[in-house]
Structure 1
Amino acid sequence: MNSKTLQSTETWTEIARLFARLALGASFLSAVADRFGLWGPYGAKNVSWGDFAHFVEYTGAVTSLFPSSLTVSFAWAATVAETFFGILLMAGFKIRMTSVLSGLLLLLFAMGMVTGLGIKAPFDYSVFSAAAAAFLLAFWEPDRFTLDKLLNRSRN
């Protein structure tokens, strides 16, 4: 491979990683926005929950193996984690750790969906695909579009 082809491949790889980070981060933040009614009320077109109460109900379905007394705690834990991971992924901060933790969270969601809603649900909502993308992001060095790279440059 000549240097121009190699440079072009590296650029497209960085763009693909940026796209994966932004897509995962935006998906987390969109889900959080939905549970607080920012996409519209429950029952509106393309709205899954519309309010936190409906999200808690959904959380109960995907955590059905656990005592129902934990449902609200799980709903809040998921909300905090998704908000935190969404922001960190979009900013490109602590990418490796955030990507691994995001992948684990998505796998937990997928397993909960399988047990509470059936095997089809996590495939329909691409949860396994999103988890795979998160894990793939963890294996790359920070690229020029990340806060990690900017901070590494300023330290050197």
Structure 2
Amino acid sequence: MTTLAQLFTRIALGLGFLLPVGDRLGFMGAPDSGKAAWGDWQHFVTYTHQLMPFTNMYTANIAGLAATIAECVLGICLIIGFKVKWMGLGAAIITLTFAVFMIFSLGIGAPFSYPVFVFTGAGLLLYTHHSFPWSVDALLNKN
């Protein structure tokens, strides 16, 4: 059952990173369509700036780009099962960082309106595992 649980966790966490990336790139629907949180890059950067009010919009854009690249790498690697242990730790760090920014900018309840701490916990659980059947890691370890 542990094997199935960690596989499900990897896929759910990976999709949990990739779907918001698709949203900010406009693949989930237009802004204000009710189908997307942001709907485009500009709305996402505005939200990033809201979480980081001590920055200017240029810096928020750079931070948003860095987060987007990290989330793409984490999402893809978790789904295919590459370097899962370290991707789990990376997922925990990025989501905990997000939660801290949410708390300071939007209040203590903000990260609880989304599964931010669930993502952090899932990443930490993956980090505690040492083998990942049904993964690229398992295939590489066989060779």
TM score, norm. by length of structure 1:
0.88
Instruction: Choose which of 96, 104, 107 in structure 2 pairs with 1:118.
Output: 107
Residue 102 of structure 1 corresponds to 91
Aligned equivalents of 2:77, 2:23: Cα separation in 1: 19
1:88-121, CA deviations, whole angstroms, 9 ceiling, x for partnerless residues?
Answer: 0001000111110110000000001111111111
Is 1:26 the counterpart of 2:15? The answer is yes
Mapping 1:67-78, distance limit 5 Å: 67-68=55-56, 69-78=58-67
Alpha-carbon shift at residue 46 of structure 1 (Å): 3.1
Greater alpha carbon shift after TM alignment, 25-34 vs 41-50: 41-50
Residue 137 of structure 1 corresponds to 126
Alpha-carbon shift at residue 141 of structure 1 (Å): 1.5
Gaps of 5+ in 2: none
Gaps of 5+ in 1: 1-11
Residue 7 of structure 1 corresponds to none
RMSD of the TM alignment (CA)? 0.9
Aligned length: 142
Moved over 4 A (4+): none
Larger radius of gyration: 1
Alpha-carbon shift at residue 56 of structure 1 (Å): 0.1
TM score, norm. by length of structure 2:
0.96
Aligned equivalents of 2:94, 2:132: Cα separation in 1: 24
1:100-145, CA deviations, whole angstroms, 9 ceiling, x for partnerless residues?
Answer: 0110000000001111111111011010111011011011122211
